[in-house]
Structure formats: structure tokens, C-alpha cells
Amino acid sequence: MDRSEKFALTLGIFFLIILFGAVLYAKSQSGVDLPGCVTDVEPYSEGKVDTLDDNRFQIQYVARMWLFMPMEVKLPVGSEVDIYVVSHDVVHGLQIVGTDVNLMAVPGAIAYKKYKFDKPGVYYVRCHEYCGVGHQNMEAKIIVE
Ligand SMILES: [Cu+2]
């Protein structure tokens, strides 16, 4: 290995360490909540909304070709929501436009993110992973009022 290769390798490792440190810092200091994956529960097959408390809800999305279930959810302003998504066919994505909710729906796994809906309005839930000919029609709504 010549000197320039060693330098490039060292530089690459250095930037990976910086990136990893920045992610850990953002998670611990800035309140950034990274999406997770639930591994100890079998993937559910029906989409539904559960009320956990006055302002706490749980939405279990099922992504399939080419829709999300449930298609429409109504929530009060200030709701704290546990959002789960599964897929039983191909890889889909779940993005709630205007929020930092951006999950991958991979068959066999449950993706998870918590989000608080502070502002009233209509939030569109869209698929961000090309999943076939009907991909552009995959849309659901969360109505916060
Ligand atoms: Cu799609």
C-alpha cells in the first residue's frame, strides 16, 4: 500500500468517526428521535388506530400494493402518536409530509417512530420507495383538528 492510499484510507475512517459521533450527538443532545425497528413482535396484518390515553395514540399502518391502511386518521391537536408500519408484499416507504417521519416498510419487520402533531392541518402520508405501477397513488391522510 503506497502512501496516498494510506492517507485516503485514514481520511475515510476519520470522516466515518466524525459522522458516527455527529449522529450520536444529535440523538443525545438535540432531542432528535431516530426511527427504530421493533424486532420482538410478530408483524400485524390489519391497519388500525388505538387510543392509549387522552392525547396518546398508536397508529398501525399496513403498506401494501398500492395503499396504506388505515387510509384516513383523525387526531386532536397536540396528539403524541406511536407510528408503526409493516409491509406484507414488497418494500414500501412511509413519509409524513412536513414532518421528520420517514420509515421503511420492509416485509417481516415493524418500523417505528414517535411524533407529536402540534399544528392543525392535513398531513399526507406518502410512499417514498418505488413499489410498482401504482406507487404514485399510495397516499393516506392524517387530519389534525
Ligand atoms: Cu411505493
Centre of ligand 1 from the C-alpha of residue 100, in Å = 18
Centre of ligand 1 from the C-alpha of residue 30, in Å = 31
pLDDT in tens, 29-71: 877 677 777 877 777 889 999 999 889 999 999 999 999 999 9
Which residue, 66, 89, 47, 73, is CA-closest to 136? 66
The predicted pLDDT at position 123 comes to: 97
Centre of ligand 1 from the C-alpha of residue 105, in Å = 10
Q: Is the pLDDT of residue 78 over 90?
A: yes
Q: What is the pTM of this model?
A: 0.78
Alpha-carbon gap, residue 145 to 127, rounded angstroms: 24
- 36-144: what fold? Immunoglobulin-like (2.60.40)
Counting residues of the chain whose pLDDT is more than 90, the rounded percentage is 78
Q: CB-based contacts of 99: which residues, under 8 Å, 6+ apart? A: 115, 123
pLDDT in tens, 12-28: 999 999 999 988 888 78
Centre of ligand 1 from the C-alpha of residue 88, in Å = 13
Centre of ligand 1 from the C-alpha of residue 92, in Å = 5
- Residue ranges of E strands in 25-144: 36-38, 48-51, 56-64, 67-69, 72-75, 79-87, 92-96, 102-105, 110-117, 121-126, 139-144
